[in-house]
Structure 1
Amino acid sequence: MSETFLPELPQELWRAGKLELAHGVTHLLQVMRMASAGVGKYLAEIESRGTEDLFGYGNASSWFADVARISLGDARDVVKRAVALNPAPGVGDAEIAAFAPETGAAAADGAIGDQHSDLILEILRKIASDVPREKVEGADKILAGLARHAGPKEIAEAGAGILAHLDPDGNEPKDPEPAPPRRELFVERRKDGFWRVSGLLDPETGARTAAVLDAYGARRPVDEFGQADHRTMPQRRGDAWADVLDLAMACPDQPGTAGYRTLVHVTVSLEDLKTGFGNACLDFVGEITAREARMMACDCLMIPVVLSAAGEPLDVGRMKRFVTPGQRRALNIRDGGCAFPGCHRAPKHCHAHHIEHWADGGRTDLRNLVLLCGFHHRLIHHDDWQVRIAADGIPEFVPPQYLDPLRHPRRNILHRVVT
C-alpha cells in the first residue's frame, strides 16, 4: 500500500495551490487536535473506572505508556491533562465537572492543542491556590476564548494579568531557612611527625581564609642587610597559618587557655633543655628537637614537662615564667612590634622572648624580655645574633661576625620616632 501511495503524494501536492496547501495543514491540525482530545476523553474514563479492574495495570499512565509505546513520564502528562479537561462520573447519574471545562471544550473542537491546554492549566492551578472556584471558572473562560485565536506568548501574558488582578500582593514572602554552610577540615599526623591539613570550605569562609592568609603571608620587605624574602607562596601561607594560630591562642577568651599562649605539653630532660641538644616529646605523641622546645618555651607556646636524668618530673609548666597581660602591654608600648632591626611586624604577631632563657635562670621581667616575630624569634635561637637591653632600656641586637666584623649593635627604628 505504501509503495503505491508515496509516489503519488508529491505529484498531487505539486499540483496543489498555496491555499489548498494551507487548508490541508489547518485541517490536519484540527483533526490531530480533535483526535488528541478524543484520546483524552477515553483516558479520563479509564482513569475514573480504574485501570487495575479493566486491564490489570496499577494506573492509567502505566497502561497508556505500554499501549502508546511512550515513556511513563510522557504518559503521566497525557493522563493528567485528560483528567483536568474532562468531567468524571459521580454518584448515580451525577457528574463531577472538569477542572477546566472551557479549555476542554476548545480542545474537543480542535481549536487548541496540547501546548495551549498545558499552559492554561498551569495558570489556572496557580489561580486556584488563592481564589474561590468561581474565579477559576471565569479565568478558564477568558483564557480558552483567547487561545482559539492566540499563541502561547499571548496566553502567558493574559494569565499574568489575571493573576495580578486577582492577587495583587502575591504570595506572602517567606524567608527560607538558610542551609548550614558546608565546612570540612581534616588534620592528619604523618609518620614523620608533620601534619597534613586538608578540607572543604563554603565560598564565604574560603574567601575569608584566603584573604587572611594573603594578608599575613605577604613577603617581608628587604631588610637593611639586603636580605630578601625567598619563601614560596605555600611556605608564606604556612607561616601565615602559624601567625593566625598564635593570634587565636593569645585571645583571652580562648577556651582552655585562660589567656595564656599554651598549646601543647613537651617532655624534655633538663640537660637537653639547657643545652638545646637532643630531642623532646611533643604532646606525648611526636618528637621535636630540644632547641625547638627551648624556643617554644620562651613565650609559653607549650607547657614543658622537665625531667631529671633519672626521669623524675622536675617541673610542669612553672607559672612564674608566663608573661602577664600587664607585662605584655608594657612590651607592646616599649618595642612597638618586632624589635629586630628592619622588621615591620606589629605586636600582635610577636612572641615575648626571654633574653636569658628561663631554663637558665632568666627572670620574667621587662629587662629580660623582648618582642620578636616568629621568623626573627627562630633566627635568634638558631643563629649567632645576640640581643640585649641597652642602658636606656631599649632592645639592641648584635649581629654575627659574618655580617659585621666589628659587631656594632643595631636597633629597630621603624616603630619609634627618632629625635
Structure 2
Amino acid sequence: MSDLVAKYAALQALVKEIARETSDAHDDETVAQLAIDHHTVVRQFESIGNQRILEVSDRDAHRAVGCVTVTEFLQTKLRITHPKKRLQAVQALEPMHAMTGEKLPPVCPNTARELAAGTIGPDHVHAVLDVLKKIPSAVDVEQRARAEEVLAEFATTLTPKEITAAGVRILAHLDPDGTLTDDRDRARNRKLNLGCQDSQLMSKLTATLDPITRALFDVVLAKWAAPGMNNPDDELSPIGDGSDIDSNLLREAADRDHRSQSQRNHDAFKALLHAAVNGGLLGGSHRGLPPQIIVSITDAQLREHAGVARTATGSDLPISDVVKLAADAQPHLAVFSDVTNEPLFFGRNRRLASQAQRLMAFAQYKGCSKDDCTTPFAHTEMHHAEADWADGGNTDSPHLAPACGRHNRAVGSEPYQWSTEKIADGPDRGRYGWRRNADPPETLRANQLHRIDELLQQHSPDIVEPRPPVSDIEHQLAQVAAERLPRAPRNDITWPQDMGFDAA
C-alpha cells in the first residue's frame, strides 16, 4: 500500500473517531473555534479534491471505475451536484499541462492559494470566476491578473454575493465607458438555461441575450404579448400575431384581459413555440421521431385520471394536460404481451431503427437504458443491444435499446467498456441491462431513473393514489380518448399529436 493510500485510510479512521466525539466538555469559545477549524479543513479539502480530479482526468482513470467521461465520474462516483462548474474551478485553480507537456501555472493563482489555505470556499471561487468571465477580451493580461488578485483578497472577507457587487465596480474601472466590450465578449456570455421542474412541474427560464436576440424578442412580444393576444383563459382571444384580426375584436379581448405583463410574455412565448412545432419549422424528424411532443401513459392512468406522464424530451406533464392533448391525438399502442402489426422486424435489411420501433422503445424505456443516465429518450440513439450491427446484430425491436451517444460508444470488448444483456426476471424483465466488462462478471443493472412512478406503483401502490378529475370537461375528454383506444393486455399509450405529436 502506498503512503497516500495509507494516509487516506488513516484519515477515514480519524474522521470516524472525530464523529463519535462531542464538544460537551468544552467551553463556548472552544466549541465555536472547533466549528471554525472544521470548516477551514473542509475548504482545504476542496482544494485537495481538485488535485485528485485533475489526476483522474490526466490519466483517464475514470474508465477504471466504469465512467465514460470525467463529468460522469464527478456526477455518479463523487456525487458532485454541478460537475461542470467543478471542472471549471479545476481548470482555473490547478496547474494544467500545455500541449507540449510542461505544466503551466494556474490561471487564478491567488484564488487557488486562498482555497488551499481554507480562507475561502467553493462559492467564493465561483463568484470570482463569474466576475473574471465578464472582463472584456481587450483588457490586457496585467490588468486581468491584477483583477484576479484583488478579487481573491476580497473573497477572504466578503460573501460571494458581495464579491459579485465588488466585481461590478472592478468591471466599471476596467471598461468605464463600455468601449472595450466587443462581439467576442457578448458571444462568450450569451446563454439560455431551462431549469428543472419543481414540485408544481413549473420550470424557470433564465437567459442572457445578445443585443440582436433581445431586439428580435422585443418585436415578438410587441405583437404576440399585446393585451388580449394569446390568452389561454379567453376562448375568443386572438391566436398568433393577430395580423388578420378585426381591431374591434382585439380591443374587446384586451378589455377582458387581466393578465400581468409577465404572464402575457409567457403566453406569447408558449404560442410562438406552438406555431414553430405545428408549422413544420422543426423539420420532419429528430433522431427518428417526429419533432413534436410525445408522451407515454398507461391505460390505467387514463382511466383513473391520476399520475404524471413523461415526454420523450424528459419533461413531466400532469395528467390534466395529457388529457387535453389526447382529445386531438392519434393514439399508438405499444403492446408488450404480443407483437403488433407494426413493421418492427427488419433483420439485416436496414441498420437504423424505424419510427415505429423508436416509439416502442420510448414506451418501454423512457430514456437512456444505461443505469444512472439521465438523458431523455429524444436525445438517444438506438443501440443494437443483443449484438452490435458490426457483429451481425439485427435491427429488431426485441434486440434494441435506447442509449445516449456517449454510452452507445462505450459498448465494446475492452476491460473498461460495457456489455448489454436482456434481463430475464424481476421488475426489469424484458429490458436490457448494462454491466462493465470485468472478471468475475458484474450484476446486470437497468436504468430506473426514468420509471420512478412505475416502480413506486409496483412496490408501494398506496403512495400513488388516484386523484379525481380537475373538471367535468376533462373527465369527458378522458372518456372520449379512452373509447378511441382498442383494448389490449398491459399497454402503454403513446400520444403523437398535431400540436405535440405527429402520427407515426
- Give the TM-score normalised by structure 2: 0.34
- Give the TM-score normalised by structure 1: 0.41
Greater RCO (CA < 8 Å, at least 6 residues apart): 2
Larger Rg: 1
